[in-house]
Amino acid sequence: MPLLLDSGQQTEDLWVVLPRSDTPADQTIPDGKVLIHLASWEAQRDELKDRASEIGVWLDSDDEPERLATEALSLPVLAVNFPVFSDGRGYSIARLIRERLGYTGDLLAIGDVLVDQLFYMKRCGINQFRLRSDQKTDAAVAALSTFSDSYQSSVEQPLPLFRRRPA
Amino acid sequence: MYRYDETDRQIIMDRVAQFRGQTDRFLSGDLPEAEFLPLRLQNGLYVQRFAPMLRICIPYGMLSSPQLRRLARISRDYDKGYAHFTTRQNVQFNWPKLEDVPDILAELAEVEMHGVQTSGNCIRNTTTDQFAGVTDEEIVDPRPYCEIIRQWSTFHPEFAFLPRKFKIAVNACPDSDRAAIQVHDIGLQMIRNDAGELGFQVRVGGGLGRTPLIGSVIREFLPELDLLTYLDAILRVYNRYGRRDNKYKARIKILVKALGPEAFAEKVEAEWAHIKDSPARLTEAEIDRIKVHFSSPAYLTVEQIDTAAFEKAREENTFFGNWVNRNVTEHRVPGYAAVTLTLKKLGVPPGDVTDKQLDALASLCEQYSFGELRVTHEQNVVLADVRKDQLFDLWTAIKPLGFATPNLGTLTDMICCPGGDYCSLANAKSIPVAEALQARFDDLDYLYDLGPIDLNISGCMNACGHHHVGNIGVLGVDKKGEEWYQVSLGGASGQDADIGKILGPSFAREQMPEVIDRILQTYVDQRQGDETFLDTYRRIGINPFKERVYASAS
């Protein structure tokens, strides 16, 4: 399934997501574009230095984004895992990666990524979605523009509605 | 009250369209039940024991007459002709069809109503004092701040999938608390600091349910402009660190207790330091904009109101006098009063109203109270701006409607959840207990002599009937498939909030009137002077009650 972009367009999904390992220092990182878990990257980042353009790091919902070292912020892709769609920690993690750490690369949602959560994910700064395989693309594209406006400050629109309301 | 502008209206229409699409996908099989569930809950739709139940939001309890008429029409067209006011100032329909819900929500949106976030693991309706804006006890009208919180919490992108539900309440009275803020996830007490600036004392981690707790103060003074960023910080800490492995340990109170209030406060302050000066910070202009919606209606001057005629009627007619003493509350504006219409008539489940009563309420508030009405957390309704010289007419008009039972604040003005008659979570029925007690204690002179007593009944430990904070609390429990009732004493929900203590082994339903009677007799025998039930309990403790109730021949 292709990656859905926040614009509603789709692009080929070139990334292989490597699962979390009990022994991150010894996890074998295959060639090609790979998303590895934060712990594996921390353990192996010196060896992976030369592959910077094809390595991305994913965070699980119990990971602390504050742990991301400065080097991680120059990676082309970071990802937030939603182990189940009802685990809302990923929304805070995404905002922290964007707003606190200032990451400007691509931010992917992976895991249990469903149509009805996309709008909020997008507002929290996620710009690419690896939808669960049973999700319908047309419904997903429509969901990206569910609401015409929103009340709160968000990554997408830092000014809350009350700073933008017509007088 | 707050009126939508074009943007607010469009957002709520977008919501209806979104839910219509989700319902269609569910009905066509594209959306599995487990994934539809949180979506329908966040629109107020439960699937209950006999039918779906739809909970409609009444922001901090405020309703207008067109909204009341619309609720009446919906109850006729889509339900069985009645609705139920809840203990969090909302209203529920008990018999809608799932496939009709998008149409119901569209009808509600036309009158600026919705079911948004009335259920599910998200930020729920913000509640406050039913006398907000009209009581002279308050330092400021809390409703503009409730509306600001409502807008901030509506479709907040970060907090739609919290570990558990989240309830915020605001109180602006220094010496009383009708919003029970100490038993909310966040309780905001409006205060002024020594410099005279307005702000909030912030309390976190109160709650009822399985682990009843009084909230802890984590900040003594939060300036008003910092309200939203501080709420963001609290919610973010909770969203990240609240337990998700066990739904009974997932409320913020468990996190606050586990970390300790000081450590929790440190985490919040650390988070807040990053965001306090962000664009999310509230502005004076926004507070002013919202306040305009809550400005005073066109009150007459006291000279224009014939208060002498009112005083005369009050003296001459004992029944009217009783009702005024009980159900009419002082107003900050001379010549006006706030009137509580009790929905606690014998034989009617507490909080229930028929479509005709809803229509009648619409006409009453138009005629007597500037077209607005408030719902209380005790499941009554309030006409907040009634001229004193119209009180007699109002009383005459509401008597045949069953709204004039002069029992406000007394034993029979009970809080009661829908219980096992309607709710699939309940262990036991609660309404028949309420009815049996109303029937047993129907002597008004006795009720007045007993004075203020909160009797709260919940059909299960989810505590929708707030039994922990009732002076007398009744909890339905399941014992080997049978319905039993556990009694607790000494709870309170005001400034002196406390969690009740369990009296002892539970009782069968038919024993309940006798049990309550013995508790009351103990109080009557032991009270000194003007002591209330709660005062006496606090002085003598639970043992005298226990001895009397469990004495033989029960």
The domain that holds B449 is classified in CATH as 3.30.413.10
Residue B86: per-residue pLDDT: 87
Domains of chain A: 3-163 (3.40.50)
Looking at chain A, the number of H-run helices and the number of E-run strands are 4, 8
Residue B427: per-residue pLDDT: 84
Interface test with A, best of B114, B126, B161, B224 (most A CBs within 10 A): B161
Q: Do B208 and B164 share a domain, yes or no?
A: yes
The half-sphere exposure of A7 on its side-chain side, counting CA atoms within 13 A, is 4
Which tokens belong to B174?
């220094």
- Report if residue B337 sits inside a domain: no
Average pLDDT over residues B484-502: 94
Q: How confident is the model at residue A17 (pLDDT cuts 50, 70, 90)?
A: very high
Q: Could A148 and B162 be called an inter-chain contact, meaning their C-beta atoms sit closer than 8 Å? A: no
Any idea which residue has 């507070």 for tokens?
B287
Quick check: helix, strand or coil at residue B515? helix
Residue B52: per-residue pLDDT: 86
Q: What is the pLDDT of residues B424-460, one digit of tens each?
A: 778 888 889 999 999 999 898 999 999 999 999 999 9
Q: What is the pLDDT of residues B356-396, one digit of tens each?
A: 999 999 999 999 999 999 999 888 999 999 999 999 999 99
Residues of A in contact with B280 (CB under 8 A): 152-153, 158, 160
B552 has pLDDT over 80 = no
Q: How far is B418 from chain A (nearest CA, A)?
A: 28
The half-sphere exposure of A46 on its side-chain side, counting CA atoms within 13 A, is 2
Residue B49: per-residue pLDDT: 64
Residue B27: per-residue pLDDT: 94
Q: What is the pLDDT of residues B454-482, one digit of tens each?
A: 999 999 988 888 999 999 999 999 988 88
Which tokens belong to B126?
């913000």
* B171 alpha carbon, distance to own chain's centre: 13
Average pLDDT taken over every residue of chain A: 96
The residue that leads in pLDDT, B49 or A84, is A84
Q: Do B147 and B267 share a domain, yes or no?
A: yes
Q: How confident is the model at residue B165 (pLDDT cuts 50, 70, 90)?
A: very high
Give residues 19 to 58 of A whose Cβ lies within 8 Å of B: none
Average pLDDT over residues B517-543: 96
- Between CA B246 and CA B67 the distance in angstroms is 39
Distances (CA, A) of B78 to B24, B106, B350, B421, B549: 19, 13, 22, 20, 46
- Report if residue B316 sits inside a domain: no
A81 touches chain B (CB under 8 A): no
Q: Do B142 and B94 share a domain, yes or no?
A: no
B554 has pLDDT over 60 = no
Distances (CA, A) of B358 to B36, B55, B353, B381, B385: 32, 16, 7, 11, 18
Q: How far is A51 from chain B (nearest CA, A)?
A: 32
B10 has pLDDT over 80 = yes
Residue B378: per-residue pLDDT: 86
pLDDT > 70 fraction of chain B, expressed in percent and rounded: 99
Give residues 333 to 362 of B whose Cβ lies within 8 Å of A: none
Residue A6: per-residue pLDDT: 97
- Between CA A148 and CA A166 the distance in angstroms is 15
Q: Do B156 and B288 share a domain, yes or no?
A: yes
Q: How confident is the model at residue A26 (pLDDT cuts 50, 70, 90)?
A: very high
Residue B425: per-residue pLDDT: 79
Q: Could B158 and A88 be called an inter-chain contact, meaning their C-beta atoms sit closer than 8 Å? A: yes
> In which region does residue A37 sit, left (phi positive, over 0), alpha (psi from -120 to 50) or beta (all else)?
beta
Q: What is the pLDDT of residues A35-81, one digit of tens each?
A: 999 999 999 999 998 888 899 999 999 999 999 988 899 999 999 99
Contact between B243 and B285 (Cβ < 8 Å): no
A4 touches chain B (CB under 8 A): no
Residue B345: per-residue pLDDT: 73
Residue B553: per-residue pLDDT: 55
A138 touches chain B (CB under 8 A): no
Q: Do B273 and B214 share a domain, yes or no?
A: yes
CB-closest option in B18, B239, B286 to A162: B286
- Report if residue B350 sits inside a domain: no
- Which stretches of B178-215 are assigned E, i.e. beta strand? 186-192, 198-204
What is the number of CB-based contacts under 8 A between chain A and chain B?
108
Which residue in B240, B167, B171, B159 sits closest to B207, CA to CA? B167
A142 touches chain B (CB under 8 A): yes
Interface test with A, best of B16, B226, B240 (most A CBs within 10 A): B240
Q: How confident is the model at residue B50 (pLDDT cuts 50, 70, 90)?
A: low
What one-letter code names the amino acid at B31?
L
Residue A149: per-residue pLDDT: 97
- Range list of H helices, B417-465: 431-440, 444-450
Domain limit, last residue, from B292, B326, B351: B292
Average pLDDT over residues A93-116: 98
- Report if residue B544 sits inside a domain: yes
Residues of A in contact with B270 (CB under 8 A): none
Q: Do B104 and B139 share a domain, yes or no?
A: no
Residue B98: per-residue pLDDT: 92
Domain residue limits at B514: 416-549
Residue B3: per-residue pLDDT: 96
Contact between B161 and B304 (Cβ < 8 Å): no
Q: Do B100 and B214 share a domain, yes or no?
A: no
First to last CA, chain A: 45
Q: What is the pLDDT of residues B101-144, one digit of tens each?
A: 999 999 999 999 999 999 999 999 999 999 999 999 999 999 99
Residue B472: per-residue pLDDT: 97
Contact between B439 and B510 (Cβ < 8 Å): no
Q: Do B182 and B54 share a domain, yes or no?
A: no
CB-closest option in A92, A120, A152 to B239: A92
Domain count, chain B: 3
Q: Could B157 and A120 be called an inter-chain contact, meaning their C-beta atoms sit closer than 8 Å? A: yes
Residue B88: per-residue pLDDT: 81
- Between CA B52 and CA A78 the distance in angstroms is 42
Residues of A in contact with B278 (CB under 8 A): 153, 158
DSSP bridge pairs for B216: B204
Q: How far is A23 from chain B (nearest CA, A)?
A: 25
Any idea which residue has 């309704």 for tokens?
B381
pLDDT > 90 fraction of chain B, expressed in percent and rounded: 86
Q: Do B191 and B104 share a domain, yes or no?
A: no
Domain limit, last residue, from B292, B321, B341: B292
- Between CA B292 and CA B294 the distance in angstroms is 5
CATH number of the domain residue B74 falls in: 3.90.480.20
- Report if residue B77 sits inside a domain: yes
Q: What is the pLDDT of residues B295-338, one digit of tens each?
A: 999 999 999 999 999 999 999 999 999 999 999 999 999 999 99
User: Please, which contacts does B261-268 make with residues 24 or more away whose CB atoms are closer than 8 Å?
Assistant: B261/B204, B261/B205, B261/B216, B261/B217, B261/B218, B264/B204, B264/B205, B264/B216, B264/B218, B264/B237, B265/B218, B265/B219, B267/B237, B267/B241, B268/B204, B268/B218, B268/B219, B268/B230, B268/B233, B268/B234, B268/B237
CB-closest option in B30, B162, B279 to A163: B279
Average pLDDT over residues B76-80: 94
Q: Do B150 and B280 share a domain, yes or no?
A: yes
- Report if residue B336 sits inside a domain: no
Q: Do B178 and B278 share a domain, yes or no?
A: yes
Domain limit, last residue, from B61, B78, B110: B110
- Report if residue B389 sits inside a domain: no
B422 has pLDDT over 80 = no
Which tokens belong to A68?
């991301």
Average pLDDT taken over every residue of chain B: 94
- Between CA B284 and CA B144 the distance in angstroms is 12
B7 has pLDDT over 60 = yes
Q: How far is B312 from chain A (nearest CA, A)?
A: 50
Residue B48: per-residue pLDDT: 67
- Report if residue B252 sits inside a domain: yes
Average pLDDT over residues B401-408: 91
Q: Do B456 and B537 share a domain, yes or no?
A: yes
